[in-house]
Amino acid sequence: VIAVPPYFGQAERRGLLQAAELAGINVLSLINEYSGAALQYGIDKDFSNESRHVVFYDMGSSSTYAALVYFSSYKSKEYGKTVSVNQFQ
């Protein structure tokens, strides 16, 4: 499983899969890198007695991404939004 930035389009994702194939890497799936962070966070925690909302964010010079993820013992759900500096100009 390879985590990719949320701004990667289909062309970049195909290119990444081709590069992995050339390198001899067996890719099972591509996932959003924030989903990967949330997945790892959820694996390490016990939600049997409670539920929790967690924000994962990445603030860079040209864009900001935040994902609000709801965790419980039964499910998780991600809400995300990418904001580019161009949207404020």
pLDDT in tens, 42-63: 887 877 788 888 888 888 887 7
Whole-angstrom Cα distance, residue 26 to residue 66?
Answer: 30
Distance of alpha carbon 63 from the chain centroid = 15
Whole-angstrom Cα distance, residue 71 to residue 49?
Answer: 11
State the residue for tokens 């949207």. 87
Question: With a threshold of 0.95, does the pTM exceed it?
Answer: no
Task: Please report, for the chain, the start and end positions of each structural domain, with discontinuous segments joined by +.
Answer: 2-88
More confident position, 57 or 74: 57
Cα radius of gyration rounded to whole Å, the chain? 16
Ramachandran quadrant class, 24 (left: phi over 0; alpha: psi -120 to 50; beta: rest): left
Closest to 19 measured CA to CA, from 30, 5, 34: 30
